[in-house]
Structure 1
Amino acid sequence: MSKRAVIVGWAHTRFGKLDDPDVETLIAQVARGALDHAQVGPGEVDAITVGVYNNGLTPQGFEGALVALGEPALRFTPAVHVENACATGTAALYRAMDFIESGRGRIALAVGAEKMTAVPPREVAEALLSGCYRKEEENPYGFAGIFANIAQTYFDRYGDRREELAMIASKNHGNGMHNPYAHVQKAFDVAFCNTVSDKNPIVAGPLRRTDCSMVSDGAAALVVADEETASSMARAIRLRARAHVNDFLPLSRRDPIAFEGPRRAWARALADAGVTLGDLSLVETHDCFTIAEMLEYEAMGLAGPGEGWKVIRDGVTHKDGRLPVNVSGGLKAKGHPLGATGISMHVMAAMQLMGEAGAMQVPNAALAGVFNMGGAAVANYVSILERAK
């Protein structure tokens, strides 16, 4: 690769049940917003990548072609749509970076968006199951059913850790209180999260509503440029390292709680960056379900197998802990509009590194990690970000 791509601007909608009628409207908001934030004109954009999962969530496909409808000056700019399950947003970002680093252009726009709340919950669950190996993993509870089985496998092997899952949920909801983009800006204490009730019913297996991320609408976008072009811009966030590791799609082909793909992605990214986990100021990780965050503690190296529960119990990942995790509220509180999630996570990290995270700000944030996962630890992306200027 001849050039290094850096993030030079971003935009982010509120996540939640939004009035915006469709993905097209959401894309238009953040595409223009990100270009304005980067102080880049549409005529300077050499390529566009759009990440939308869709798979039946909306009737409109061919989402790469929607950007120019909101910004007609992008009419003749090459645009593509990418999809990689819940890691669709990071796939879009990495594709835009690959374009820049190949030397084919100077500036690219990466957009992630999803409109999920306009269809009935049963249809959402059905659409999301296309991100699993349906021949073996079809179930009436959607992805909650898959992660419920993962949680039960963990409990059977290492002991019941529902209370620690409740601690993760409570932590992330507390953090989400300070995120103006979050779907849920309400704190829940551990006792509430750990108690089955009318307001916190069982969703599947051992997982309660507070263990599951929200069905959300939303969009986010990033502008990336080569370092030479970025030298005259107001912001520049470098991905010091980035790794993408895939694993088998069927859980039957692997240990479902080993999270070997995430483990390998973290190891590769940290090695390529020349840093250790202890060097990071914060991590934004993929807590689609609280059991996922617990397993990711083990995958990133905060704890050994079967000991991830100790991390939250010891306060390591709280905002004032040794390694703050999901100070944005994570997917749990911020929401999880699938195509937007990976872009959003990188925006949250970039804001921290620029000291522009407001009430979410981690003091003196210098190095951030992002982990975005597609499926049940199938497509695994890790980014190590630092401020370049």
Structure 2
Amino acid sequence: MDLGVNITGAYHSSFGKLEGETLYSLYEKAAIGALQDAGIEAKAIDGVFVGNYSGGSFNHQENIAPYGVNALPEMRHKPMYRTETACSSGSSAIHMAIMAIKSGMMKRALVVGLEKMTHLEIAGVTQALSLATYWPEEGSQSVTAPCMFADLAKGWMKKHNYSEAQLRPWLAQISAKAYTNGAQNPLAHLQKPKSAKDILALPDEKNPIIHAPLRLHDCSLVSDGSSALVLEHDSLSIGKGVSMKSFYSASDYLDSFGKHKSDHFLEGAAFAVDKALKDASMSINDINIAEVHDCFTITELLLYSAMGIAPAGKEFEALENGTVFPEGKLPVNLSGGLKAKGHPIGATGVSMHAYIYKQLMQEAWGHQAKNAQTGLVVNIGGSGTSNAVSVLGR
């Protein structure tokens, strides 16, 4: 199957603490950069879709989508929309753009994902991110993302009878893989390799517990950054770019793990992966590379079973047999992932798609996968509340 929609251009800023950038400059550079990469002018765009989690909380700026007119006045009076589904906001923007093109109302769309987070102190960042929880019972009671994903880790250990001593080395391997891959990505927030042995040897003050059993090196980064894509109906780009083979977004209960949804298996992500692969007439064995949502190391570990590359309860086998490493059968997060590349919330989903696009075009930012023809994006918003999956192919 093929959706008849192609990616023909991409942009990706550096991720990190970008002190010289604003929400507005990140938007402008992403929009212009993607158009330049696609080799088209702004007037050729029929609409703009912007993924941005919380410009209001981080930057006192909601209603960011129409800033596209300020950035590119040639797009005045074109439709511009903002999507928000927590950490999958960028993927939601891409999916909305695909639907607009598939409907026939647009032929070509620009998608921008962006977030400017680092000028807030950690308490402000925590407060902003807590708005993605079910506020009456979670955010208002100081429940944060580390709390929820720690519950997932504890639920998985209890279900499968593992100890924290057993879990820690597997999580350290995921973190080390991210750091090693990120060190080869010139756009990554962190570019210093660390081994699992190095991480495990750190004293508690260098790798403190954030919310047991998760430690500092199990958590993704607070980052600034933007990314953008140009999407076209394939009648405009036959033989060009990368095809969107399929996509699906599976929503789940707006509360933490273990209330209405599993605390040991990522049900929504598994549903979305299965649906997207079936719609593409593929199986996981047909996928050459994947960018997945390692907001915490436990999330990536459990995505191995959700994706079908390891059995539930034995997700660590994908590490031990080398499947997910750069030379493995299905390299995961060659970009460095959220853990090392960075996690500017609204930019993340667009970044994941942009990175796969560049890999499949043999123009990778960083480590180039050999002969990759297909890619999978798995982008999770909230505590598995929005599970956005895309299948891409040459």
Q: Check whether TM > 0.5.
A: yes
Task: Compute the displacement of 1:200 (Å).
Answer: 1.8
- Range that drifts further, 126-135 or 39-48: 126-135
**Deviation at residue 102 of structure 1 after TM alignment:** 0.7
Letter in 2 for 1:241: S
What are the equivalent positions in structure 2 for 1:188-203 lying under 5 Å apart? 188-194=194-200, 195-203=202-210
Q: Distance in 2 between matches of 1:271 and 1:141?
A: 36
Matches within 5 A, 1:157-172: 157-158=159-160, 159-160=162-163, 161-172=167-178
Out of 274, 277, 282, the position equivalent to 1:267 is 274
TM-score by length of 2: 0.94
AA aligned to 1:53 is Y
Structure 1: which amino acid aligns with 2:68? V
Cα distance in structure 1, aligned partners of 2:352 and 2:214: 24
Alpha-carbon deviations, 1:125-159, whole Å to 9, x = none? 11111111223333546211211121122222220
Amino acid at match of 2:310: A
| Larger deviation, residues 238-247 vs 250-259 | 250-259
**Does the 8 Å contact 1:49/1:79 carry over to 2?**
yes
Q: Is the 8 A contact 2:48 2:109 kept in 1?
A: yes
Q: Which residue of 2 aligns with 1:137?
A: 138
Distance between the aligned counterparts of 2:210 and 2:50, measured in 1?
32
Counterpart among 222, 233, 241 of residue 229 in structure 2: 222
- Equivalents in 2 of 1:289, 1:384: separation in Å? 23
Matches for 1:93-108 after TM superposition, within 5 Å: 93-108=94-109
State the percentage of identical aligned residues. 37
Partner of 2:28: 28
Unaligned runs of 5+ in 2: none
Determine if contact 1:200/1:210 at 8 Å carries over to the other structure: yes
Change (3 A) 1:124 1:358: closer
Matches within 5 A, 1:35-114: 35-54=35-54, 56-114=57-115
RMSD over aligned Cα, in angstroms?
1.5
In structure 1, how many angstroms separate the alpha carbons of the residues matched to 2:226 and 2:21? Answer: 13
Q: Where does residue 345 of structure 1 map in the other structure? A: 352
Contact 1:20–1:26 (CA<8 Å) still a contact in 2?
Answer: no
Residue 3 (structure 1) shift: 7.3
Secondary structure in structure 2 of the residue aligned to 1:61: coil
Give the 3-state SS of the residue equivalent to 1:325 in structure 2. coil
CA distance in structure 2 between the partners assigned to 1:141 and 1:25 by the alignment: 33
Q: Secondary structure at the match of 1:170?
A: helix
Return the letter of the residue paired with 2:173.
M
Stretch deviating more after TM superposition (135-144 or 72-81) = 135-144
TM-score by length of 1: 0.95
CA distance in 1, matches of 2:153, 2:263: 10
Map Cα deviations across residues 239-273 of structure 1 (whole Å, 9 max, x no partner).
11111111111231111222111111111111111
1:236 is matched with which residue: 210, 221, 241? 241
Partner of residue 5, structure 1: 5
The equivalent residue for 1:126 is 127
Dislocated runs of 4+, deviation >3 Å:
138-141
SS of alignment partner, residue 220 of structure 1 = strand
The answer on whether the counterparts of 2:113 and 2:347 sit within 8 Å (CA) in structure 1 is yes
Distance between the aligned counterparts of 2:237 and 2:134, measured in 1?
A: 42
Q: Which runs of 5+ in 1 are unaligned?
A: none
Aligned to 1:245: 250
Inter-partner Cα distance in structure 1 for 2:89 and 2:241: 23
Q: Aligned equivalents of 2:4 and 2:103: distance in 1?
A: 9
Distance 1:168 1:118 in 2: 28
Give the aligned length: 384
2: CA distance, partners of 1:77 / 1:40:
16
Aligned to 1:373: 380
- Contact kept, 8 Å, 2:355 with 2:365, in 1: the verdict is no
The answer to whether residue 306 in structure 2 is matched with residue 305 in structure 1 is no
- Deviates most, 134-143 or 298-307: 134-143
- For the structure 1 residues 196 and 261, does the alpha-carbon distance in structure 2 shift closer, same or farther, using more than 3 Å as the test? farther
Corresponding position of 1:206: 213
